[in-house]
Chains A and B, each alone.
Chain A
Amino acid sequence: MSSLNPARQNALLLIALLFVQLLLMAGNVRDAAGSTLLEKSALRISQPVVAVSRALGGGFSGVTGGVRDLTTARKENVHLRDEVVRLRGELDRYHEESIENQRLRQLLMMKEHIAPRSIGAAVVTAILSDQEHVVVVNRGTSHGVAPDQPVIAWGGAVGRVVFADSGHAKIRLLTDPNSGVAGLVQRSRQEGMILGRGKGLLEMVYVPSFADVALGDRIVTSGIDGVFPKGVGIGVVQASEAAGIARTILLEPEVDFSRLEEVLILVETEEPPQDPAEPESPPSGAGEEP
């Protein structure tokens, strides 16, 4: 090595570094858990730096948020009073409908919907560039977070967990170009796949041109992807036009990804599978009194 001139030494170093990183990338593409050890180590080493930034960011957001809140509080107060009156009326109506719904469900022997168990998490940092739409939160495997768990926020679906360390988790947002979620039009029940475009809007694909989709229709998760539970809001149709046999549909997400501060990670989304033919009484066997 010492007999080589510096340019050759650098070229050899370049080849070695690129080769190691190519191996890392190849391992990552082949198996999602391929290089998590190094990724976790890098995350842990740099954790203090990001913790300091987070503390600074929290202070900055607090000051600017306080000033903004003061100026908008009065206007919002008047608006919210009107909203409370209107919502009270709606709440009474929904309460009546909920009782009726419960009665009908019991009548149809449908399963009771079980609210999924969730973990609240605060956003540590985030990136919204063309190719990467990622949020890092302060909850990890030690809190029960695992890859492929769905994440929601006030308003609708946010994304899914793609990496979890003991104290942090990375969430790929719905707007990421490599993100996909199964959805359906709430009104017409037309199913499709919602993909990220790397920009603000989402795209719904695999929808036939004759499908009943109108501007302003709400799109919710269909639950068939096995990640998100059914009925979580995704977005509202902003543009819909037939192009050949398929229809191009653009959606505006229900969640403002640039203002995310807290999210909910759904750690249990489904009930354990139960055979409909199985009787309701507990099965006989181990643990049963003779």
Chain B
Amino acid sequence: MKYMLMMNTPGGGPYQIARWPQQDIQAHIAFMKDFARALGESGELVAAEGLAGPDQAKRVRAGGDGKPITDGVFPEAKEFLAGYWIVDVDRPERAYEIAARASAAPGPGGKPLNLAIEVREVMSAPPRDLLE
């Protein structure tokens, strides 16, 4: 079963990591690299991406002519998606374990950030015949 693990970061401007001391930024990046490598080695990693900061983000809607209408960023938004992992695991509890490890990524002073990670199951396809 596949799960998407979404890491949200508080809104209100650029990623807060940008304002951390250099050594804390390095520790955070090193943690994320190790984390992805470990998921690859355990044979569970399907995909992982970090997203560019919210100040680059656009909101897009189709106009009456089908052409895109873009809006700027929303500094009032409480939180933003910072990145995600898709993992393929044997049971949901394993996805939660992985999410907890991501949540404990180091922040300022090396203390765990404990960010909330949203865990969502990826849809699969048809089950056996219904009403058999």
A-B complex is real: no
